[in-house]
Amino acid sequence: VASSPRPPQQGRSMTMAAKRTSISSSKRTVGRPAKVAKVTPSSGADKFAPVMRLMSEYCSLSESCTSMLASALPVALQTNKEGRHAFENSVIKAFEDACGDAEKECMSAIEAAKVACSKHQEEKAGSVANLELAERNAAKALEQKNAAQGFHDQKQAEKEKAETALKGAEQASEASKAEVQEVSSKREAFEAEVEQVLPALKEGNFAPKDWRLRQKAIARLSHLLEQSDAPESMVAGAQLAFKDKPESRGQFAVKTVEATEACLKTYSQALAQAIVGASEKSEELRGDMVAKEEVAKASQSEYEAAMDALITADNEWADAESEVVGLKKSIRGFGPREEDLAAELRGSQTSFEGFQELMRQFESFRDQLLAPALEVAAEGAEATTSMPAAGGEQA
């Protein structure tokens, strides 16, 4: 007898219920891990953007390595930590190594920036100390320059005074020599005139017919007496006494001739004595001129030495001032440089903070434990096979 057929839906539901019960039962095959749903790389692009930033901004990787990690890393991070494949762990490890190198670079950049700032501060402090020393040196150089200027001015005044004294001594010596020459010439002319006039008048060598020549000679003799500072009485007596021949002269005329001759001789001797005195004075003035020449030479040498010292002091002061100006300019440049270095340090620190934040997000992805998904029925194929076909009968 044919049995009545079971309702298809009821039999299917009972079968499915039995199969669902087997999913949670302890009869599941040991050693098979629970299956977890996985997402394609494109589906987690936004989610893992911090990891991609960490890779692109901080990790120093080759283009091929970056491309590979960009594709594989998100997939590996989406896999439950406990269920990751060895390859996925190696991908994460490779990225961790790259991040470790990046962290070292960040720390090195911060350390380098700190060293640069510290070195800059040391250089600034050194420049300030150097400026203080340079300013003291410049002040000392200015004092030495002023002292050298004062010494130079003193020696210049002494030189000018010595030159003026030498010029006066030279003029006095020249005047004295001219005086000696003048007196000598005067004596020579006087004696020559006396030699031409006195013997002929004294001896009466003029013939009566040469009375005009005699009168001219007497006139010349009178002029010689006047030069000799003879008294007027002698000049007048001589004019009469020398008209007579020697033998015709009276006693008074003879005395007048003798007095005239003695007066002329005395005057000649006075001129000779004047020549001696003028010569002695000339020699004295010449000696004074030579002494003043030596003083002028010494003053000139001292002035030149003072000039050299002033030039040296002026150059040293100029160099010291130039150093002060250069250091001040250098110190003014420390401000902008200090700001740049501080900005570099802040940038390095900010970059490291960004690295740390991105690193924390990466580690949260790396260490997360995803809630296990429902396992696809291992025996799905068997359940499908055991279900009767629609409209079929159960034996």
Q: What is the pLDDT along the chain (395 residues), one digit of tens a residue?
A: 334 444 444 443 333 333 333 333 333 333 333 343 343 444 456 889 999 999 999 998 899 999 988 899 999 888 888 888 999 999 999 999 999 999 999 999 999 999 999 998 898 899 899 999 999 999 999 999 999 999 999 999 999 999 999 999 999 999 999 999 999 999 999 999 999 998 988 888 888 888 899 899 999 999 999 989 999 999 999 888 888 889 888 899 999 999 999 999 999 999 999 999 999 999 999 999 999 999 999 999 999 999 999 999 999 999 999 999 999 988 888 888 888 989 999 999 999 999 999 999 989 989 887 554 433 333 343 344 444 444 444 43
- Contact 95/55 with Cβ under 8 angstroms? yes
Query: What is the model's pLDDT at position 293?
Result: 93
Query: What is the model's pLDDT at position 392?
Result: 43
d(CA 57, CA 102): 9
| Residues 6+ positions from 106 with CB-CB distance below 8 Å | 58, 348, 351, 352, 355
Q: In this structure, what token pair is assigned to residue 91?
A: 């991908």
Other beta carbons less than 10 A from residue 376's beta carbon: 10
Query: What is the model's pLDDT at position 220?
Result: 92
DSSP character at residue 208? G
d(CA 258, CA 243): 14
d(CA 377, CA 14): 16
- Contact 178/184 with Cβ under 8 angstroms? no
Query: What is the model's pLDDT at position 36?
Result: 34
User: From start to end of the chain, where are the E strands?
Assistant: none
Query: What is the model's pLDDT at position 331?
Result: 87
d(CA 170, CA 353): 95
Concatenated DSSP letters of 170-192: HHHHHHHHHHHHHHHHHHHHHHH
pTM as predicted? 0.54
- Contact 94/69 with Cβ under 8 angstroms? yes
- HSE-up of residue 298 (Cα within 13 Å, Cβ side): 8
User: Cα dihedral angle (314, 319, 320, 321), rounded to 10 degrees?
Assistant: 90
| Residues 6+ positions from 121 with CB-CB distance below 8 Å | 338
Query: What is the model's pLDDT at position 384?
Result: 40
Query: What is the model's pLDDT at position 210?
Result: 87
Q: In this structure, what token pair is assigned to residue 131?
A: 């400026």
Query: What is the model's pLDDT at position 204?
Result: 86
Query: What is the model's pLDDT at position 12?
Result: 38
Radius of gyration from C-alpha coordinates of the chain: 69
DSSP character at residue 156? H
- Contact 224/186 with Cβ under 8 angstroms? no
Query: What is the model's pLDDT at position 154?
Result: 96
